[in-house]
Amino acid sequence: MSEMAATKTAKVALITGANKGIGLETARQLGALGITVLVGARDLKKGETAAAELKREGIDARAIKLDVVDDGDRKAAASMIEKEFGRLDILVNNAAINLDKKASLETSTTPSQTLRDTFDTNFFAVVELTQTLLPLIRKSKAGRIVNVSSAQGSLTLLAPKDSRIYATKTFSYDASKSALNSFTLHLAHELQGTPIKVNSIHPGWVRTVMGGQQAPLGLVEGAKTSVRLATLPDDGPTGGYFHLNESLPW
């Protein structure tokens, strides 16, 4: 089979924010399964560097310029995917920011612009990118949408004083992830009865630029939940919230 024919028959996955960290490791693990991975990156050069790294490992990886908050980039990505592949099998909405942690903000002093900027990337961009790509995902025999959330998006886990994350509240980030979880529930409800599955995941506390070096999990472990939900069988769950094999409370 030619390389072109192999590409046409392989599953195609787009991972946003995939030039580093959990996104890059997710692309690596999906690529190792024989899936063509599109490395979404705000900076195309960084995306190309990441894709080249994956190619050296035998993975069919392509860099794609995708600043998730840029409508032009979103539309260009959809156009390229339709032209090259005719469908999208997997969308991993991984790109995110945490401005609260960077600025050590308290809820009562959080500027509205910080909230808006955080929601633009972590919520609105996810909704708008997914809506843009959904016609292509509908063309897949088994579309999978994975929204990378966080345990911080769970109101149930944040509320109790004896919760392990009770003291780690970051208002803008947490609220944006709660909103993302709501999007997961609503889209999964709309798509029930179709082959498309939509789920939220918590990757765990992972050693990344955002997670910090004190985090207990490495990148390999941090990508596992996204990969599992991206490759669910036909009888797998939809409209759920998971860490590894554990269901999380909303």
Alpha-carbon distances, residue 142 vs 2, 107, 137, 139 (angstroms): 24, 41, 8, 9
CB atoms within 10 A of CB 245: 8
Choosing from 65, 173, 224, 241, which is the catalytic residue?
173
Torsion on CA atoms 205, 24, 230, 181, rounded to nearest 10: 50
Choosing from 177, 197, 224, 241, which is the catalytic residue?
177
Residue 100, token pair as written in the block: 């609260």
Check if 173 is active-site. yes
User: What residues have CB less than 8 Å from 95, skipping those under 6 apart?
Assistant: 16, 17, 23, 40, 42, 68, 121, 125
Residue 136, token pair as written in the block: 């292509």
Phi, psi of 146 (to 5 degrees): -115, 115
Alpha-carbon distances, residue 111 vs 99, 115, 125, 173 (angstroms): 11, 7, 20, 13
CB atoms within 10 A of CB 6: 12
Query: Which amino acid is residue 49, in one-letter code?
Result: T
CB atoms within 10 A of CB 91: 30
**What residues are annotated to the active site?**
173, 177
